[in-house]
Every structure is written in structure tokens, then in C-alpha cells.
Amino acid sequence: MRRVVSSLLVALLLAVATTPVAAHGPDPILGGGLFAQNKVLQYRWTSSGTPPLDMKLAIHAARDDSNASRKSKSPTFDYDTGASNVIYYGSTVPCGTNGLACFRRDTPDWFGMWFRPNGTRFDWGTLRWCELSGSPDGCYDAENIALDEFGHVLVLDHHDNFNDDSDYKDAVVQTYSRTKPRAGYNAHSYGRCDVAALQQAYDIQTYTTLYSTCFDVPTVVTLSASATSVKAGTMVTFTSTLTSAGTGRLSNNPMNGRTVVLQQRTSSGWSDVITMAGTSTNGQYRTSLTARSTQDYRALFRGPSNEGVETDGSPALTVTVSASCTGICPSSSSTR
């Protein structure tokens, strides 16, 4: 009996290869596990396949591109002559008969990367690296291809493009790469869907880091008040928290540096009262108001256009205002 080991990843990979998807989302994730968050992965050139100078510079530039545009806690790369990870340039590449370059990742400690030499003959013609050949039309940008490989090493699989490739520039890690002068051939930072996958796999870089617009992460907003039953003219402090509610690494992350507004209910709906200020506590926003009448309040986070997060509003919180206090007053209350 045939043993068929199902693999969601491969099923997806092959299904995608058969029928380009219409949906849009983060790059798929490779199997084989992850490196540690923020680990520094050092590399060196192999003695048997040291790249020429311009190729070295392109690979180093791609390293810097990866480090600068990861927007996540994915590892960074650095060059060190004593590194155990290797990068090779030459004809002895372990990656099939096709392709421009390939990689090997062996988490949690090792990776390798191989680049075919300028002048390699393929069925379609001769490989020209732009950096080594005077940058003629039809050349491949080595920095872009190296960035694709660094992305693979981190964990990224090829982006699933729309049928018409209109989203090509959303990812550097592509099933096939463009040549000069097609749009995106020389992209030197991860695309938003590369970043989304890195954030999902490794978490966002800091609590102020914006979530990639390639996904749509739910958020949760809470609101509490220093008192919910006060005498007119009392200052009430409202405290809100904003956290991500995605899956895995993207769940329950405090979100700093965002705009959270305090709203109050009116006869026509909710209206903004004031923008709450961030505090020194991660994900916390605060403001104070003088209470003059009983009101329903809520905190609202509007998902901005430059970030892939959803809008969320806290449940309503009623602050009851009376003319004078009788008994124990004020008392505090909170929601969520």
C-alpha cells in the first residue's frame, strides 16, 4: 500500500503551481523550522567558489537590504571570515539543472547559498548578472536575487502572485525573477508580503513596528476609567489598551505609537472626543476628562491605510455623573 504522507505546505505549493491563486497574502512558509529570533547569521565565501568583487558587493548589499527591511525579529546576516555558513559562486551548485541560485537551510544553526556564474548557458540563453556585465537589458540583478535567497534562508517560500502578476512587487521572493528593465527586477528591500510572512514567523521587530499591509491582523481595544460614578466636575482618567489579535506570534502584542481616540455616544452615533496619548506602558493609551454629565464612552482604533491591522472599538463604558456624592463615591470600573 502506498504510503502517502500529507503535507499541507506541499499540497499548497503544488496546488498553487497548478492554478495561480486569486487571493493575496503573506508568502508561504518553508518547512524545516526557524532560526532563533534576532539571531545573527554570519557567512563567509567558500574557498572553492569565491565570488568576484562586484558579486561580493551585491551580496553584501542584499545582506544590508535584508537586515534593514525585515521589520521583524527574523535573523540578521553579517559577514565574518570565520563563519560556518557559506556562500559559493561557481558551477558546482547543488540545486538542480535550473535556477540562478539556491540555498540550503539547516536550522537552528546553518545555511548555505550558491550562485551560478556569469555566462552560464540555459535553454533561453546566457545568464548575465547586471553587476558583472555592464547591466544590459535582460540581465539579472544579483542584489535582488541574493535578497531572494536570504529571504529563503530566513523561511520564506515563493510568493503566490495574482494570475496577471499585478502584485509582483509585493514580494522579492518570487517563483521566477524578472530581468532588467521589467518592473521589480531590481527591488532592494523585502516586499510587503515577504515582510508579512517574516512578521508572522518571527514576530514584529518592536511594538511600534507597523504590521505589513499584506495581511489584516485583528486588534483588540479595551477601555477603563478611573471612576464610573462621579460627581459633576470630577476629572476622570480613561485608560485604553491596544493589542494585536492575530495568530501565533502576532497574538496579544501590545501596539505602541498608534492613534487611539476616545469617543462618546451622541444622538447620531459615536463621535471623537480626544486622541489618547501613549503611556510608558506598552500598548497603553490614556487621557483625562472632566465629567459633567452621564455619558457612554469607548476607545476606538482605526486601522490606518499604511498598516495591515483591523479597526476595533472597545465596549461602551458608562460614566454616571451625579450632582453630589452620597455614600461611597466615586467607584472605579473597567471593561474587558
Partner 1 sequence: MEPIRWIRGAVPAVTLALVGVAALARPPVLEAADPPWDPPPCPAAAAAVTEQVPVWYRLDGVVDDAGSLTGQRLTLGPAGGAGRTIDLPPESFASGPAGAGVLVGADDGGRSRLWLVDVVRGCRTEVAVETAVVRSALVTPDGGSVVEHRVDRATREDLGIWRVDARGRASRIVRGLAVDARYGRTFSTELRWAPDGRLAVTACGETRCRTRLVDVTSGRSESVGPTGPVIGVTSDGAVVAHAPCEGFPCPLVRRAPGGDASVIVEAAGLATMSGDRVVFESGRGRITQVDANSGRLSRLDAADGLVPVAVGSLAREGASHEAQAALLIAGTRLDGRSARVLPATATTPAALTEAAR
Q: 229 has which bridge partners?
A: 320, 331
Cell of residue 310, nine digits: 483591523
Residue 227 and residue 315: Cα distance in Å, rounded?
A: 16
**Contact positions with partner 1 (CB under 8 A) in 174-203:** 175-177
Q: Under the criterion CB under 8 A, does residue 99 sit at the interface with partner 1?
A: yes
Q: Is 138 in the site for partner 1 (CB under 8 A)?
A: no
Question: Residue 264 interacts with partner 1 (CB under 8 A)?
Answer: no
10 binds partner 1 (CB under 8 A): yes
Q: Which is nearer to partner 1, 1 or 23 (CB)?
A: 1
The radius of gyration of the chain from alpha carbons, rounded to an integer in Å, stands at: 26
Give the residue with the Cβ less far from partner 1, 5 or 23.
5
Which residues touch 115 (CB under 8 Å, ≥6 apart)?
Answer: 51, 55, 59, 87, 88, 89, 93, 100, 101, 142, 145, 146
Q: Report the candidate in 91, 128, 129, 86 with the shortest Cα–Cα distance to residue 109.
A: 86
> According to CB under 8 A, which residues from 154 to 173 bind partner 1?
157-158
Is residue 104 within the footprint of partner 1 (CB under 8 A)?
A: yes
Interface positions, 107-126, toward partner 1 (CB under 8 A): 110, 117-125
For partner 1, the closer CB: 3 or 323: 3
Closest distance between partner 1 and the C-beta of residue 307, in Å? 30
Choose between 122 and 271: whose C-beta lies nearer to partner 1: 122
One DSSP character per residue, 189-252 reads S--HHHHHHHHHHH-BSSTTSPPPTTS-B-EEEEEEEEEEEEETTEEEEEEEEEEEE-SGGGEE
| Interacting residues with partner 1 (CB under 8 A) | 1-7, 9-11, 13-14, 17-18, 20, 30-32, 51-52, 54-55, 89-92, 94-100, 102-106, 110, 117-125, 129, 132, 149, 152, 157-158, 175-177
